[in-house]
């Protein structure tokens, strides 16, 4: 719930030493919580532009499965960091931070307000609190770890990570190969767990004066929205979109195509599941993902929670007070 005194909230999250920093409002929360609708509602009251903090909406050709804002919605409000790379191009958090920072600087230079919107918690944290200075990628080592994952399975790599970095392993799903490989890469390069690098950094760097708002509908409503969205995606062309990607020559093992929605659609195209089973798998996987998102954002003590995107008046009050400081 939002605290009744918006001014006191702004005072808490905007200490005197931060007043000279540029302002940034963050609107985050789990998938299907209504972030896009809330952002569009705010745009009716504030002169703002949206910066997407979604790790999948950066990919071109992937619209249905990522619930990307429609062309009509983008016409209403400028959006940044959509359709940045092709599905087989690398994209990581460091590149996100660089591009998002550039976009925010441009928005502020135009005299408008930046609104960071998305559910990728790592992207939000890295942009607002800084990146841990862990070593960069080692292509040879990464290819070796990827080959091991192919040969032994993702679960085997996750067990290996749990043995050397239980803190990192505890935060990652066993099928999150990209981040498991990265954590193992850091450990092999430095002999030091990735979680140790992150703990030492503490994510305490501040580049913005922040207002952080998280949408969290009641659990039953959120799950209903997730189930309805999954069904709408299948009805609205998700399978056809996945088929076009495969026909264009994209490998189904690509990171982008192993994410929720595309993974299930490809299994359906390969005849491994029925359409009904694919829908159930998609709904279940999305609910699990939403739970992980909520866990991540709830660990942030600065987050201000609202019960649902319908509480637009409360969000408007918070933003008005924040930008009046």
Does residue 126 contact residue 296 with C-beta atoms inside 8 Å? Answer: no
pLDDT of residue 198: 64
pLDDT of residue 309: 64
Strands (DSSP E) contained in the chain are: 23-28, 48-52, 79-80, 113-118, 209-215, 304-306
pLDDT of residue 9: 42
Predicted confidence band of residue 1 (pLDDT cuts 50, 70, 90): very low
The fold adopted by the segment(s) 139-200 is: Histone, subunit A (1.10.20)
Percent of residues, the chain, with pLDDT higher than 70: 90
pLDDT tens per residue across span 5-60? 343 344 344 444 456 899 999 999 999 999 999 999 999 999 999 999 999 999 99
Does residue 238 contact residue 281 with C-beta atoms inside 8 Å? Answer: no
Q: Which of 121, 88, 118, 86 is nearest to 103 (CA)?
A: 118
pLDDT of residue 175: 79
- Enter the pTM of the model: 0.79
- CA pair distance 56, 263, nearest whole angstrom: 13
| Domains in the chain: boundaries | 6-130+203-324, 139-200
pLDDT tens per residue across span 107-118? 999 999 999 999
pLDDT tens per residue across span 123-175? 999 999 887 666 777 888 888 988 888 899 888 999 999 999 898 888 787 87
pLDDT of residue 143: 85
CATH ID of 6-130+203-324, from 3.30.465.10, 3.40.50.300, 3.30.2350.10, 1.10.1060.10 = 3.40.50.300
Calculate mean pLDDT across residues 84-111. 96
- CA pair distance 285, 233, nearest whole angstrom: 14
- CA pair distance 164, 39, nearest whole angstrom: 41
Written as six digits, the tokens of 88 are: 């087989």
Q: What are phi and psi of 39, to 5 degrees?
A: -65, -40
pLDDT tens per residue across span 71-80? 999 999 999 9
Terminal-to-terminal C-alpha distance of the chain: 22
pLDDT of residue 29: 96
Q: Which of 126-130, 179-183, 284-288 has the highest mean pLDDT?
A: 284-288
- CA pair distance 243, 178, nearest whole angstrom: 23
Does residue 241 contact residue 65 with C-beta atoms inside 8 Å? Answer: yes
Written as six digits, the tokens of 149 are: 């994952």
Residue 184: pLDDT over 80 = yes
Predicted confidence band of residue 190 (pLDDT cuts 50, 70, 90): confident
> What's the CA angle centered on 46, arms 41 and 51, to 5 degrees?
75
């Amino acid at each position: 719930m939002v605290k009744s005194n918006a001014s006191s909230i702004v005072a808490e999250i905007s200490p005197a030493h931060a007043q000279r920093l540029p302002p940034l409002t963050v609107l985050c929360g789990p998938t299907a919580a209504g972030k896009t609708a809330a952002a569009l509602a705010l745009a009716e009251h504030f002169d703002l532009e949206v910066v997407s903090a979604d790790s999948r909406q950066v990919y071109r050709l992937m619209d249905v499965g990522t619930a990307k804002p429609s062309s009509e919605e983008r016409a209403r409000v400028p959006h940044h960091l959509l359709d940045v790379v092709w599905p087989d191009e690398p994209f990581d958090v460091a590149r996100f931070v660089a591009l998002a920072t550039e976009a925010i600087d441009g928005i502020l230079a135009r005299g408008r307000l930046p609104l960071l919107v998305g559910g990728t918690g790592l992207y939000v944290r890295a942009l607002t609190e800084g990146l841990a200075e862990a070593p960069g990628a080692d292509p040879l080592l990464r290819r070796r770890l990827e080959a091991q994952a192919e040969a032994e399975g993702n679960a085997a790599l996750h067990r290996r990570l749990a043995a050397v970095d239980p803190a990192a392993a505890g935060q990652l799903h066993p099928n999150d190969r990209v981040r498991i490989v990265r954590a193992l890469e850091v450990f092999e390069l430095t002999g030091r767990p990735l979680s140790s690098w992150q703990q030492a950094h503490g994510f305490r760097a501040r580049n913005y004066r922040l207002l952080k708002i998280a949408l969290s509908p009641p659990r039953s409503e959120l799950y209903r929205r997730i189930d309805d969205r999954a069904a709408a995606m299948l009805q609205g062309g998700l399978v056809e979109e996945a088929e076009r990607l495969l026909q264009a020559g994209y490998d189904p093992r690509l990171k982008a195509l192993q994410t929720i929605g595309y993974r299930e659609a490809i299994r359906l195209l390969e005849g491994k599941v029925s359409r009904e089973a694919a829908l159930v798998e998609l709904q279940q996987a999305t609910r699990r993902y939403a739970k992980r998102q909520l866990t991540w954002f709830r660990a942030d003590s600065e987050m201000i929670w609202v019960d649902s995107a319908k509480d637009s008046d409360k969000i408007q009050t918070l933003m008005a007070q924040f930008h009046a400081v």
